[in-house]
Amino acid sequence: MRLWIVPAALILALGGCAPPVARMRSQDVPSALPALTPPRVDPRALAEKLAAIQPQWPGNGHPASPAERHIDCRKVRCVALTYDDGPGPYTGRLLDVLAEYHARATFFVIGQMVAADGPLTLRRMVSEGHEIGNHTWSHTQLTALSDAGVKGELSRTQQIVHHVTGRWMSLMRPPYGATNQRVTAVARRKGLAQILWSLDTMDWRDRDSLVVIQRASRAARGSVVLMHDIHPTTVEAAPQVLARLTAAGYTFVTLSEMYGKALTPGREYFGDTELDRRTAGERRESIRLRNTGS
């Protein structure tokens, strides 16, 4: 049973959290981004809640990761499934499906969602070998903030995830894919590599499981696939996505496993560069449609 309930308004508000592009600069971000209304979280009250439940955790400690896997993605057909904006009410079911396929994924979490959900989901992610990345505290557009604002959005999420899991994140994904030199500089100072994507399932826009299955099934070797675990249709699509990609011979890895080395803080990573070239035209059209409202 969850210790805190995620407000329904937040789940609805996060509907359009990512644009259908792998990378956006500040000049590319549309002026009318979807409004988000994350829950207000009082830091003092949050600290008291976490302190109160911590003695219930086994050994009053943090979860242990499974044994490290040694996967050479230069020889194995690897794909990195990534999920943004959680944890939410459907994340547990997604973790069940991933476990059935012995698949590992990367979850880019929002700090306020962690505060609303409680520690159990993130602890389970760690114990089952998934990777956790920073998706800011309130899913705000970082390029519209001051340096101090960007630092605050990343730092607060770093702190709550560390408090819950005992781990410091080394990856971040800027909301809407919006980044610039200032965001890059702050991410570098925080020790966070910027992870974008090479395959966008557009699940935030098209809430249709069959559409998500079809798009995710286009993954190629080295793909970084973008999805969102706050949408029930995306979680409903997960069994077929995993079944199809498994039949095609893919291994599901975390981003760190796929790259096989420490990533450079501040640098932007997209996944397989060949796939990026093949989909460049599609992404340019996606930018045009979003900015013109077509």
Per-residue pLDDT tens digits for 218-263 = 999 999 999 999 999 999 999 999 999 999 999 999 999 999 999 9
Residue 115: give its domain's CATH number. 3.20.20.370
Per-residue pLDDT tens digits for 113-146 = 999 999 999 999 999 999 999 999 999 999 999 9
Q: With contact defined as beta carbons under 8 Å apart, do 105 and 254 qualify?
A: yes
Instruction: Say how many domains are in the chain.
Output: 1
Is residue 56 situated within a structural domain? no
Q: Residue 55: is the preceding peptide bond cis (ω within 30°)?
A: no
Is residue 18 situated within a structural domain? no
Residue type, 135: H
Is residue 34 situated within a structural domain? no
Is residue 62 situated within a structural domain? no
Is residue 70 situated within a structural domain? no
Is residue 223 situated within a structural domain? yes
Is residue 264 situated within a structural domain? yes
Domain that holds residue 235: 78-292
Q: What is the pTM for the complete model shown?
A: 0.79
**Which of 132, 150, 135, 161 has its CA nearest to residue 188?**
150
Beta-carbon contacts of residue 176 (< 8 Å; ≥ 6 apart):
17, 18, 19, 24, 29, 33, 141
Per-residue pLDDT tens digits for 67-125 = 889 999 999 999 999 999 999 999 999 999 999 999 999 999 999 999 999 999 999 99
**pLDDT band, very low/low/confident/very high, at 40 (cuts 50, 70, 90):** low
Is pLDDT of 59 > 50?
no
Strand spans (E) along 57-188: 78-84, 106-109, 131-134, 171-172, 178-179
Q: Which residues are catalytic?
A: 84, 228
Is pLDDT of 33 > 70?
no
Is residue 67 situated within a structural domain? no
**Higher-confidence position of 259 and 4:** 259
Per-residue pLDDT tens digits for 153-187 = 999 999 999 999 999 999 999 999 999 999 999 99
